Amino acid sequence: MNFIECKRCIKLNLARITHKTGWISLLKFIMFSYSFKITFWFRIGSYLKENKNVFTKILYPMVYLIYKHNQYLTGIQLPLGTSVGPGLSFSHFSCIVINANSKIGSNVTIFQGVTIGSKRGKEEVLPL
């Protein structure tokens, strides 16, 4: 994922919740919406984890700790680097576990108490 793709995914995640994509909406939802906060830090953390340069190596540990703290607060276990399309939304959080090998498409809403795994052995793609 490059920076432009990361930015686009964050914008589409925000648009799923508020139908606005301005800076004020972004800051408001980062501060007050746990659902958006977890997806925001997921996108930033996944971008930093994937891109290895001096800048990302400095920022990644800090973003990782913020993301882990938000995982603890929300009860959403979504490993950094998981393949998730744009437009991800968590309507109600708590007890959500997603496997790192899962592939989640675009515009997906996940509710509480959901576990998404992956199949071992012969790889099959199951649409979600």
pLDDT digit string (tens) for 9-48?
Answer: 999 999 988 888 889 989 999 999 888 999 999 999 999 9
Angle between helices 3-18 and 23-32 (to 10 degrees): 80
pLDDT at res. 67: 97
Side by side, the strands of the sheet bearing 115-116 are 76-77, 96-98, 115-116
Q: Under 8 Å CB-to-CB from 83, ≥6 apart: which residues?
A: 102, 103, 104
Question: Does 25 reside within a domain?
Answer: yes
Question: Does 43 reside within a domain?
Answer: yes
Please state whether the predicted TM-score (pTM) of the whole model is above 0.75. Answer: yes
Question: Does 84 reside within a domain?
Answer: yes
pLDDT at res. 41: 96
Compute CA distances 36 → 4, 70, 87, whole Å: 19, 11, 10
Confidence of residue 127 (pLDDT cuts 50, 70, 90): low
Write out the two tokens for 86.
């744009």
Count of domains observed in the chain? 1
**Domain limits at 85?**
3-116
Question: Does 121 reside within a domain?
Answer: no
Question: Does 122 reside within a domain?
Answer: no
Beta strands in 1-128 (DSSP E): 76-77, 83-84, 89-90, 96-98, 103-104, 109-110, 115-116
Question: Does 127 reside within a domain?
Answer: no
Instruction: Report pLDDT digits (tens) over 61-91.
Output: 999 999 999 999 999 999 999 999 999 999 8
